[in-house]
Amino acid sequence: MQKLSGGKSSLLIVISVAVALLASALLYVQSERAKPAIKIGVLHSLTGTMAASETPLVDALRLAVEEANLSGGVNGQPIEMIVADCRSDAAYCAQQAERLIAREGAQALFGCWTSACRKAVKTVVEKHHHLLFYPLQYEGLEQSPDILYTGAAPNQQIIPMALWALINKGQRFYLIGSDYIFPRTANLMAREVLSAQGGRLLGERYVPLGAGDMKAAVKEIAALHPDFVLNTLNGDSNLHFFRALRDAGIGAENTPVFSTSVTEVGLAAMGVDLATGHYAAWNYFQSLDNDENKAFVARFKQRFGKDRVLDDPMAASYVGVKLWVDTARSQGSTDLTLLKTALAQQTLLAPQGIVAVDYNTLHLWQKAYIGKARADGQFEIVWQSSQPIHPAPFPFYRDRAEWLALQQALPGVQP
């Protein structure tokens, strides 16, 4: 009987320990589930002239967030996206940035497309010493301790594209762009670089952002017969421009257009036939032939549909979240001061290849590519840099003060 009692006693002890362990495990699971989500803010235009360009970026951000959450979030905390529609209005976007920071408690912001939007949001971000990831190629002439630029600086897109066009298509060129800071500044740089290499500017025209009437510009192009056109139009103005070119009988064979804002998503939206044979320059194309990109494309299509396409701003958005997540995990914190210091030293194997944050400028070292639009809506790579290019937001041939003075003197550029 004593042995039996001892056995019962041992059994009770084992059961008690098991129950205690189970209770502890349940409490741990509950505590993990109870961890508050880390909020991030997304600032993109879901309506207005920029909607077709910007809406897909939200899906790229969502993919990165979902992948991070599946692998444990940030230090055990899930990430929650709060999406604000900027309505293609820079001032309204700045108001939304203020709301996301001050009222929603967002730990980081991801977004903007146009430089007008970024400039407006920059004021808010710097007021709060917060953090914005900006995913677009842009005109440069800017650095901020509170913005990480995952798109191209001028020496990583517009300048190599202009020089390649000059070498391969001819010396006579025409400039067209939307009437705001990016096109005017980018074209200033392109005009100077091309002129220094023997290029000849035939004409230059700007239209309001979202403009649909391209008859005057196309008539001028038809009359001047440039060897190539540099196009810095943004938003759905590109649809109207390429449609007007087609209607005027101007084709890529005789007058190729080199664009800074036409992407795979843009081709799908406006009809691939309009731009087939024309060119674009980016740091990413969906057609890049590497294992990391193939896996990225497959994951995106599995999540959002086999007919969806990816483009450079989407890849740059995805990379921004990946950099933020990796840094927060490595530091064990989302403290902004700590993160900004650590982010300045990050590298990442990205879909476009190895990228690295430049410590001095908070822009990315990354490769540059020029693509020729194909009939299937993808781009054939016709040129690529041999290695990642050091970002130079202020091109070397002028000092910073001179660049800023020149930019402020441009028509349509506000101080």
Q: Tokens for 221, please give them.
A: 């192009």
> pLDDT grade, residue 302 (50/70/90)?
very high
Span 345-404, pLDDT tens digits: 999 999 999 999 999 999 999 999 999 999 999 999 999 999 999 999 999 889 999 999
| Whether residue 8 has pLDDT greater than 70 | no
The C-alpha R_g of the chain, in whole angstroms, comes to 25
Intervals of CATH 3.40.50.2300 along the chain: 38-152+289-366, 155-286+371-408
CATH number of 155-286+371-408: 3.40.50.2300
Closest CA to 112 of 67, 151, 64, 146: 151
**AA identity, residue 95:** Q
Give the count of beta carbons closer than 10 Å to the beta carbon of residue 127: 13
> pLDDT grade, residue 3 (50/70/90)?
very low
CATH number of 38-152+289-366: 3.40.50.2300
Q: Are 185 and 139 in contact (CB under 8 A)?
A: yes
Q: How far is CA 191 from the centre of its chain?
A: 25
> Which pLDDT value is given to residue 17?
45
Span 204-219, pLDDT tens digits: 999 998 899 999 999 9
DSSP class of residue 349?
A: E
